[in-house]
Amino acid sequence: MLKLHGIESRYGAIQALFGVDLRVDQGGATALLGRNGMGKTTTIRAIFGLTPPDAGVIELAGRDLRGLPPFRIARLGIGLVPEGRRCFARLTVDENLAATARPGPFDRAFVRRLFPRLAERAGQSAGTLSGGEQQMLAIGRALTTNPRLLVLDEATEGLAPTIRAEIWAALDRLKREGLSLLVVDKSLQDLLPLADRLAVLEKGRSVWHGAPHEWTPELRDRFLGV
Ligand code: ATP
């Protein structure tokens, strides 16, 4: 579904990515891991053309994404749940879900079943929702664009355990529905059961790839330990 090879990106004069390789299989879930500042968000920005890479290959279902503007990349079928759960604060929950909707199986009714709290708050403005509800709405909004691949950057950061559990259950359900996922999160214990591939970044480089059953406490200490 998604393939990155040898991606290099920079913020002005500062190079942030020095060779990132990544794969998300059709219907699969890849977890992108690494300590703070190792390049996970920049990799996501590169995929969406927000920090366009100056070297490497990015393909979605065989189509080269390099050079395309972000809105075109989104329309090709990638949904983004960005860090910081940005919703349209003045719009209601339903208006947020309608704002960027495109036809497909992930419609408003689907999102309401996935996150019943959003159904209860359909007419409430997004700015008055709790942090967890806003995160659910951010996921719902990305879903109603009916992507083939959903990309989540720290979607459970700073949320209460019960809300986090609801979000992980929703991601598991989406994977079972056949949606491909690329997930950045700090919670390994939640990522490992969901993911079928792990990719680790260190200082802007891919340093390890493998399946969850190949992951060991030694690798965790080496790549994620403080
Ligand atoms: P975190 O988990 O803290 O979000 P991350 O793995 O997502 O970290 P990035 O945010 O991609 O890491 O940052 C990678 C590198 O790029 C870091 O060295 C960071 O300081 C740098 N960087 C990020 N954003 C900018 C920017 N707007 N301008 C300059 N450098 C940046």
Decide the pairing of beta strands 2-11 and 55-60. Answer: antiparallel
Residue owning the nearest CA to atom 30 of ligand 1: 11
pLDDT tens for 153-162 read 999 999 999 9
Query: How far does the centroid of ligand 1 lie from the alpha carbon of residue 149, in Å?
Result: 23
pLDDT tens for 112-133 read 999 999 999 999 999 999 999 9
Rounded to whole angstroms, the Cα distance separating 145 from 46 reads 20
Query: How far does the centroid of ligand 1 lie from the alpha carbon of residue 107, in Å?
Result: 34
- The atom number, within ligand 1, closest to the CA of 38 reads 6
pLDDT tens for 51-75 read 999 999 999 999 999 999 999 999 9
Residue owning the nearest CA to atom 3 of ligand 1: 36
Full strand arrangement of the beta sheet holding 2-11: 63-64, 55-60, 2-11, 14-24, 205-210, 197-202, 29-33, 180-184, 149-153, 78-81
Residue owning the nearest CA to atom 2 of ligand 1: 36
Mutate to test the pocket of ligand 1, among 4, 7, 38 (most ligand atoms within 8 A of CB): 38
Mutate to test the pocket of ligand 1, among 8, 14, 186 (most ligand atoms within 8 A of CB): 14
pLDDT tens for 92-104 read 999 999 998 999 9
Decide the pairing of beta strands 14-24 and 2-11. Answer: antiparallel
Count the neighbouring beta carbons within 10 Å of the beta carbon of residue 36. Answer: 8
